[in-house]
Chain A
């Protein structure tokens, strides 16, 4: 981004950036950089400034710089943030500490390993399993705006992993499916075209993790897209409990 002529070039803001280079030993360190302070810069702009002008060895992920690709999630002063949406002006003139997202293995510097999430997305069958098959030649499935609104919020997940970094249960039990995967499972469960909620429930409740989730709601608080994964988890639990009661109390009932 070009510098604005009206900015004051002398103002800077300090960054403390987590560095980890596996070829140079196991111990992470923090590197200090002073970057120009600009009102309209985000933390990602500051990192790009470091990469381009100060230290080409710093590694991190980014792409769209408009909060939709989900690449640039990092811990900013201890909070999971999209760095393309975290403005320097909200921290200035204090130091900004940038670290990789919590609870994930670090590959290098600010780059985490998120393989685990991708496996979980497959496990929960995060795709539409049509309730009734219909050939393309017969046109679209009808879905009213109200039916769409039923699941729409959960379809807004950008897989940025901020919710996992905020989730105390995931921190303790990495096998927990976690907020985003459950929200996306719920996104399909609630879709009027889908018929695989039972199959997903088997996966969602196959480990104990979900019952440890105490509706702390940190996942929802940090979500940059207002997906409300905590709500999805509670909905799933309520549905499972209802099913359990139904199977015990009315064993001749549906299913």
Chain B
């Protein structure tokens, strides 16, 4: 078996992975870094982030305000030491990105411009028009090209962590072009594989968002933390799930129901100001409330028959017409392009149909504030990780901040670990990868006469996740999902591939992704079933209240041969005692 060796491995070439690679490129040019990504790095889903990235930069803002907005937005489930690290290091990270060339939108004096986002007391979202993630990713990718100590494994699909002697010592990866499984060894491995939105049928997430790194860690015995918390973004295009950025509301867009009413005022989010009022939009109020509350308001509105029926489900309207063509072209050009292409409407003159759409996993691989997982040698950062700064509901524009701050942190922790770790056990690592090669060949390339299809099982999985673990959940709905997932895991063994080619076999990778999705879904549904309270994005109709006595805790889902075991870990509280989430006043 061919064998590659680096000091540090990074799995995933999106924002977090590239930031991690550059941290090592800059600070430890003598260390070799391998970046293993199932797509070319600039295809990673960071590219789709639109509205912006939060960091305190203006004189009217403060780190404490950023921390408070994040913690209250998280419904007090975020670890406050981690949030403090985030807000402290965010400005430096964004300035650093500016120095690497990121084309941030600017004020007339040449300083970076900021806009407000949902749940924010003060505007602190840096942006590059409405393609912030695209510009950040390409800036990071192009900057990463500079470093000779960074080797890229583009279109290599990680299938298993190679754990020997209680340490993660590398990864088995499928080289898509050759169809060969290779062993790639590293003293430290950083997971940066992003989220898992594709376990739901209606999502903003790209096709590649199948939770690979979460599943790899879970299978290696690392717990997944707070998986029950999944964010619905309030404004997705019906049918495709394409995201219409929150920036459309921070620039002044409003949400209206079937009757044309600004219905958010009925859901404890404050009173609307006239759209021509210079104080509109008000921060932490109405359309600039947090995403969980806006998505929940949509469901309630539907129950009152005040949403509009459509072929792809009910929707409401996002109205940005009053911003005018000039402002829309300058601040929201991508929104206009997406609406024209995918809905056939022009938001300069027409209303945009929107409905809540799965957007982000607050949960992920359990790490501490340094990005270390409980498995020595394994680290994680970005959406695949749960540090946690997002708690029960992530604030818009904190995810891009998180991937920079914790991408760099996890890389540094991996470097520190590697410096004191012994040599990689090469023979054992190769033997494990050989075993993995055999597993995949036997499982997927030897005809067994099975009758299940990938698309069939995936459809059933995503359906049960939406019906059982959507915006509102109950014991009954979650039990049904848990049962269904158990059944689907059995039936997965009956999948038969038509494609036995070694060259760029995307049927094989799709099957491997589905296997990951089943693991993630299991952890999610069981964690949601066990949390008998409502907090942030996790709303139980049978337990409608937050219960700090029992659940001011992170859930940890451990894989077992049977259902996962769910354990709990106290939330870190430093300076902000749990309080009520208040929006629309103050």
List A residues at the B interface (Cβ < 8 Å): 1-2, 4-6, 21-23, 40, 51-53, 55-57, 59-71, 85, 107-109, 111, 114, 118, 121-122, 126-128, 130, 134, 136-137, 139-145, 147-148, 151-152, 155-159, 184, 188, 191, 193-194
Contact = CB atoms under 8 A, between A and B. Distances in A.
Contacts of B538: none
Contacts of A70: 42-43, 47
B553 interface: no
B506 interface: yes
A21 B501 contact: yes
Interface string B35-59: 0000110111101100000000000
B305 interface: no
Given A57-B501, A136-B95, A152-B103, A126 B110 contact: no
Contacts of B454: 52, 56
Contacts of A194: 101
Given A148-B106, A158-B134, A68 B48 contact: yes
B110 A143 contact: yes
A69 B112 contact: no
A166 to B, nearest CB: 20
Given A69-B39, A128-B100, 10 more contacts: A23-B502, A40-B342, A52-B453, A61-B43, A63-B208, A69-B48, A70-B42, A108-B503, A140-B111, A140-B112
A126 B142 contact: yes
A107 B106 contact: no
Contacts of A40: 239, 342
A188 B101 contact: yes
Across the A-B interface, the 6 shortest Cβ-Cβ residue pairs: A142-B110, A128-B101, A52-B455, A57-B499, A4-B311, A108-B504
Contact of B206 (A65, A109, A159): A65
A127 B142 CA distance: 5
Contact of A155 (B103, B312, B510): B103
Nearest to B343: A40
A206 to B, nearest CB: 18
Given A57-B498, A69-B48, A136-B92, A184 B503 contact: no
A173 B45 CA distance: 33
B103 to A, nearest CB: 5
Q: How large is the interface on B (under 10, 10 to 19, 20 to 34, 35 or more residues)?
A: 35 or more
Nearest to B39: A63
Nearest to B334: A68
A63 B111 contact: no
B311 A59 contact: no
10 contacts: A23-B502, A40-B342, A64-B48, A65-B207, A65-B242, A66-B48, A68-B134, A155-B135, A156-B131, A158-B134
B28 interface: no
A240 to B, nearest CB: 23
B99 interface: yes
B106 A67 contact: no
A156 B47 CA distance: 12
B352 to A, nearest CB: 15
B98 interface: yes
A188 B143 CA distance: 12
B497 interface: yes
A114 B477 CA distance: 47
A184 B139 CA distance: 11
B108 interface: yes
A69 B43 contact: yes
Given A127-B146, A136-B92, A155-B138, A68 B131 contact: yes
B440 interface: no
A108 B357 CA distance: 34
A107 B240 contact: no
B142 A121 contact: yes
A142 to B, nearest CB: 3
Contacts of B311: 4-6
A67 B201 CA distance: 20
A141 B206 contact: no
B43 A71 contact: yes
Contacts of B506: 51, 59-60
Given A52-B454, A56-B498, A127-B101, A64 B206 contact: yes
Contact of A69 (B47, B101, B201, B505): B47
Nearest to B44: A69
Nearest to A49: B455
A191 B501 CA distance: 46
Interface in B132-189: 134-135, 138, 142-143, 145-146, 154, 177
Contacts of B109: 142, 144
B100 to A, nearest CB: 6
Contacts of B95: 136, 139-140
The winner among B108, B208, B504 for most chain A CB atoms within 10 A is B504
Contacts of A127: 100-101, 142-143, 145-146
Contacts of B239: 1-2, 4, 40
B105 interface: yes
Contacts of A67: 337-338, 341
A38 to B, nearest CB: 10
Interface in B102-139: 103-112, 131, 134-135, 138
A2 B106 contact: no
